[in-house]
Structure 1
Amino acid sequence: MASPLPKDIENSDFFSLFLRLVKGNADVEALIALGLSYKDIFQFTKLAIAEGFLKRIGQRLVLTRKGNERISSLSETKRNTTGWIRPLDEFKTPKKNISDIFIPAKNDIEQF
């Protein structure tokens, strides 16, 4: 299976996600689910340390100021090009009072 890593790793969406995962001290399973291997993630780690986006403190990886700036710049770029996701109007329901009880229509209840 060919690696999904692009030629320009540092500017890829995968790298952006990797930095955000490190910042949040999250699991790398999100990258694995996207088709990356542990070898690819290791390459990200090596690149990020070499370029100064991450630093190692003991057994932990910590985002540097440069890494935080990179996340901010990538987030700003994506926000301006992709827009926001809005809920579909057909699925919106009117706001209820806190004391109201919602009972769905019989047709909406799934039969077992």
Structure 2
Amino acid sequence: MSETECRDIVKERSGGGCEIRIEGWCQGQAREFQHRLPAGRGGLYVPSNGLAVCGHGNADGCHGFIHRNPKVATANGWTVESGVDPALKPVEIWMWGHMKACGLLDDDGGVHLRTEAA
């Protein structure tokens, strides 16, 4: 998959809004692509490995929060550890701009909501 195709799918999934929406940090509109597994650690440009986030670079907005708070980012699935397939790591995101959800991302732009076992 090309980088452009991947970015387009993630943008469509997000509806143009930030998929993280961290209170006190979020700027609303997605401007950045957050690699859950960075390219330097083997991450690919595939939608399961990307999130649409607000901010400018790693300086501010939710993108800045993710890079300043790696433990929180990993706990929420916004980043994944080396050797982990992002498609198999649940992530907490905002869907359709109004619903917080936890699920798995696929490479077609889908979100598969996670249900907890009783």
TM norm structure 1: 0.28
Q: Which structure has more strand as a fraction of its residues?
A: 2
Instruction: Give me the TM-score of the superposition, normalised by structure 2.
Output: 0.27
- Rg larger in structure: 1
Q: Relative contact order: is structure 1 or structure 2 higher (C-alpha 8 Å, sep ≥ 6)?
A: 2
